[in-house]
Amino acid sequence: MPDTRHLDKVIVGMSGGVDSSVSALLLLEQGYRVQGLFMKNWEEDDGTEYCTAQADLEDAQQVCRSLGIELTVANFAAEYWDHVFENFLHEYAHGRTPNPDVLCNREIKFKQFSNYARVLGGDFIATGHYVRTSNADNVFRLHKGCDSNKDQSYFLQAVPVQQLQNCLFPIGAMDKPSVRALAKKSNFENHRKKDSTGICFIGERRFRDFLQRYLPEEPGTIQNGEGVTLGEHIGLPYYTIGQRQGLGIGGIRGQPEAPWYVMEKDKDTNTLIVTQTDRDLERTWLAASQLNWLVDDLSFPLSCQAKIRYRQADQNCRLRYRADGRLLVRFTEPQRAVTPGQYVCFYDGDVVLGGGVIEQAG
């Protein structure tokens, strides 16, 4: 059959980073018509060193000039605020710990971006995520990236399968050193640019300082599991399950010289409950809601693997639905610091089955 890829137009989400840059390069080499789109989704208004959007845009422009492709800039700041950031604040205000990167992928990178790409005449969208897809016998599957150190499938678990089916992931079978080497060979100025580790589109800010701009401090007591007051916290949103640093309760008379960890957040009494016993952080099950399945022929009970956080090794578990509609996940081995508001992602080997939001654990 003749190669018709030159007839297909791909809109590449250009972040200014090396991954999206090499993705655009590979698509051009494969014969696609390529156009870049830089998404501006946060209004930098604080004038600090954290504001890197302009530098990212300049990096994206340099790459697109080098490749000879057009770059369009789109502002989705209002959509980001309405569909991602307001949820982010609501979750923190209610004592939970959200993952805005997962929600950002669903609402912005694979929804607003996809809609805008159609306006630009795109047949496909593409991103620099380290994931792969397959479509054997017209059955779509999302797979982990080949580089286990960079696999980003956890962050795509909440994207509806209909949106993923129209996306290309050119670097999913590559490892990061190979991507950087190709960028250097292509004279991309960003070939040594460090990976972004900040909140999706907001950047690498001092988190407590940032959160204090939106949520008031509500001090309360820090207690151990027996109800003994050990100190004072500045507000439950500023702590997460399993946290060790920043508690300010070291060296308590009559207590062992061992680190303290956040075990629980009691929203009703505004109490932060801590422990020095690591086993107190272990949970054998969790319940999840807001489920998004990427495989439609699953039957329950189901044995599979799961991650409750990015970069965690796959954990064996068994799934079944409870009478209240939530999914019950029982783990073969106890899990440390299962955190309400975070996401659990399910796998069958390297195939992503789907995921959901953690509601409770025990």
Domains and CATH numbers, the chain: 5-207 (3.40.50.620), 217-276 (2.30.30.280), 280-361 (2.40.30.10)
Tens of pLDDT, residue by residue over 276-328, are 999 999 999 999 999 999 999 999 999 999 999 999 999 999 999 999 999 99
Q: Which DSSP letter does residue 305 get?
A: E
Helical spans, DSSP H, in the chain? 18-29, 53-67, 77-80, 86-93, 100-104, 113-119, 161-164, 176-185, 207-212
Which of 195, 199, 220 has its CA nearest to residue 210? 199
Look up the pTM and report it: 0.92
User: Can you tell me the distance from the alpha carbon of 22 to that of 89, in angstroms, rounded to the nearest whole number?
Assistant: 34
Helix (H, G, I), strand (E, B) or coil at 31: coil
Tell me the C-alpha distance between 220 and 359, whole Å: 23
Q: How far is the CA of 56 from the CAs of 17, 62, 244, 293, in angstroms?
A: 7, 10, 33, 33
| Number of residues written out for the chain | 362
Q: Which of 201, 273, 211, 199 is nearest to 237 (CA)?
A: 211
- pLDDT tens series, the chain, 362 aa: 445 556 799 999 999 999 999 999 999 999 999 999 999 887 765 554 445 778 889 999 999 999 999 999 999 999 999 999 999 999 998 889 999 999 999 999 999 999 999 999 999 999 999 999 999 989 999 999 999 999 999 999 999 999 999 999 999 999 999 999 999 999 999 988 887 755 555 555 567 777 888 888 899 999 999 999 999 999 999 899 999 988 888 667 667 778 899 999 999 999 999 999 999 999 999 999 999 999 999 999 999 999 999 999 999 999 999 999 999 999 999 999 999 999 999 999 999 999 999 999 99
- Residues with Cβ within 8 Å of 114's Cβ and at least 6 positions away in sequence, in order, are 125, 163, 166, 167
The phi, psi pair for 163, rounded to 5°, reads: -80, -35
> Active-site residue numbers?
104, 200
